[in-house]
Structure 1
Amino acid sequence: MKYDKPSLSFEQQADLLIRRGMVGDRALIIERLRAVGYYRLSAYWYPFRRANPAKPSLPFDDLIPGTTFDEVWCRYAFDRRLRLAVMDAIERIEVSLRALLATHHSQRHGLFAYATDSRSLPSIDSGKFAKYREDIIKEQARSKDPFVRHFNEKYGDSHSVLPLWMAAEVMAFGTLLTFHRGCDQDIRREVARPFGVHETVFASWLLALNTVRNICAHHGRLWNRDLGIKPKIPDKLSEWNTPVAVTGDRVFGILTICKWSLDRVAPQSGWSDRFRALLATSPTIPIVSMGFPANWQECPIWKCGAK
Structure 2
Amino acid sequence: MSNQKPRTLEEQLSRLKNRGMEFHDEQLAKDYLSRISYFRLKYFWMDMIDEVSDDFKDDVYFEDIIERYEFDKSLRQILFDAIETLEVGLRTRIISTLSLSTGTGLWYLNNSLFENKGYHKDFVLDLKYEFNRSTDPFARDFIRDNNNWDEESLDGDNPDAWMIIETATFGTLSKMYKNLKAQSPLQSAIANEFGLYSSKDLSSWLEAISVLRNAVAHHSRLWYRIFAKKPVNIKGHRDKWLNQDMTDNQRKRAFGVISCLLYLVNTLNPNNTLKEEILQLFTNHPKVPVYMLGFTGDWKENPIWK
1:71-110 superposed matches below 5 A: 71-109=64-102, 110=104
1:1-307 superposed matches below 5 A: 2-24=1-23, 25-52=25-52, 60=54, 62-109=55-102, 110-114=104-108, 116-119=109-112, 121-125=113-117, 127-157=118-148, 160-184=157-181, 185-197=184-196, 198-236=198-236, 239-242=240-243, 244-247=244-247, 248-303=251-306
Cα distance, 1:136–1:178 mapped onto 2, change above 3 Å? same
SS of structure 1 residue aligned to 2:123: helix
Cα distance in structure 1, aligned partners of 2:242 and 2:120: 39
- Report how far residue 70 of structure 1 moved: 0.8
- Report how far residue 156 of structure 1 moved: 4.8
Cα distance in structure 2, aligned partners of 1:268 and 1:187: 27
- % identity of equivalent residues: 29
Cα distance in structure 2, aligned partners of 1:271 and 1:133: 33
- Report how far residue 7 of structure 1 moved: 0.8
In the TM superposition, what whole-angstrom CA distance separates every residue of 1:140-192 from its partner, at most 9, and x where no partner exists? Answer: 11111111112233445586332111111111222222221222321111111
Give the number of aligned pairs.
291
- Report how far residue 34 of structure 1 moved: 1.1
Cα distance in structure 1, aligned partners of 2:49 and 2:230: 29
Cα distance in structure 2, aligned partners of 1:128 and 1:228: 21
Structure 2 gap segments, 5+ residues each: 150-155
Q: Is the 8 A contact 1:227 1:250 kept in 2?
A: yes
Q: TM-score scaled by structure 2?
A: 0.88
Cα distance in structure 1, aligned partners of 2:298 and 2:123: 44
| Most deviating of 245-254 and 204-213 | 245-254
| Most deviating of 254-263 and 197-206 | 254-263
Cα distance in structure 1, aligned partners of 2:230 and 2:15: 38
Q: TM-score scaled by structure 1?
A: 0.87
In the TM superposition, what whole-angstrom CA distance separates every residue of 1:36-90 from its partner, at most 9, and x where no partner exists? Answer: 11110011122111212xxxxxx72x21122100111111111111111222222
SS of structure 1 residue aligned to 2:45: helix
Q: Is the 8 A contact 2:263 2:304 kept in 1?
A: yes
Cα distance in structure 1, aligned partners of 2:120 and 2:245: 39
State the superposition RMSD in angstroms. Answer: 2.1
- Report how far residue 236 of structure 1 moved: 4.2
Letter in 1 for 2:271: Q
- Report how far residue 225 of structure 1 moved: 2.1
Q: Is the 8 A contact 1:82 1:223 kept in 2?
A: no
Q: Is the 8 A contact 2:242 2:304 kept in 1?
A: no
